[in-house]
Amino acid sequence: MTVEHKDIEALIRLFEKSDWDELRLEIDGLQLVLSNDPEAPSVRVSDPDARPAPAPRKEPKQPRAAAKPDGSGAANAVPDGLVTITAPNLGTFYRAPKPGAPPYIEVGQTVEEGTDVCLIEVMKLFTSVKAGVCGKVVEICVEDGEMVEFGAALFYVEGTGGAAG
C-alpha cells in the first residue's frame, strides 16, 4: 500500500473534525501520530533532516443536541417514539451513492432493515449503512458531506420493528 500526501492530509482533516485526543497509525514503516496533548511525547524520525509536523490544535467540541419533533432540544436524547440509525464508524456522511445521484432515502420514506440509507467514507473506503429498522424516516440528522463520529445519529425513524444500527 502506498500512502500519498493527500491521504495524510485527509487523515489530519478527519482528526481535526473529530473529538479524538490522539491518533496513531503505522503503515509500511510510516508512523503518523496526531495528538491534541501538548505534553505528548514526540515520535522519533529516522531522517535527521526531517522534522515531525506539529500536531493540529483544536477546541473541544460540544455534543450535538438531538432536537425533538416539537422543537424542544433535549440534548443527547432520542425523540420519543423514534429509533435512531447511527454511524457505524467515523467518516464523511453521503446521502447519495455518487455526486448528482438522488439520495438513498428522503424524509417520509418507509425503510426496511436491509434498506441502504447512506454511505460513510474514510480514506476512500466507503461503508454502506443499512437501516437496521423498519419504519418511516422522520428526520435526517446530518448534512450531506458532513463529518460524523462513530455512533452519531444519522436518521430518526418511526420504527415498527427491527434493531437500529
Q: Residue 41 has what pLDDT?
A: 57
CA-nearest of 66, 80, 164, 151 to 117 is 164
Distance CA 32, CA 83 (A): 38
Are 110 and 138 within 8 A, CB to CB? no
Q: Does an H or E element contain 120, and which? A: strand 116-122
Residue with cell 487523515: 11
CATH of segment(s) 66-162: 2.40.50.100
- How much is the pLDDT for 19? 79
Domains of the chain, by residue range, sit at: 1-61, 66-162
For residue range 38-86, list pLDDT tens digits in order. Answer: 666 555 444 334 444 444 433 333 333 343 334 444 445 677 789 999 9
Question: What's the mean pLDDT in 123-127?
Answer: 84
* pLDDT above 50 for 1: yes
**Partners of residue 92 on adjacent β-strands:** 121, 147
pLDDT score at 142: 95
- The predicted model gives 125-139 an average pLDDT of 92
Whether pLDDT at 144 is above 60: yes
Using alpha carbons only, what angle is made at residue 39 by residues 38 and 41, rounded to the nearest 5 degrees? 110
Give the integer Cα–Cα distance in Å for 163 and 165.
6
> Phi and psi at residue 14, in whole multiples of 5°?
-60, -45
Half-sphere exposure of 70 (CA within 13 A, CB side): 6
For residues 45 and 142, the model is more confident at 142
Give, in degrees to the nearest 5, the angle at Cα 144 between 90 and 158.
85
Q: In this model, does residue 103 exceed pLDDT 90? A: yes
Give yes or no for residue 141 having a pLDDT over 90.
yes
Q: Is the pTM of this model over 0.85?
A: no
Q: What is the DSSP letter of 79?
A: P
**C-alpha cell of residue 155:** 436518521
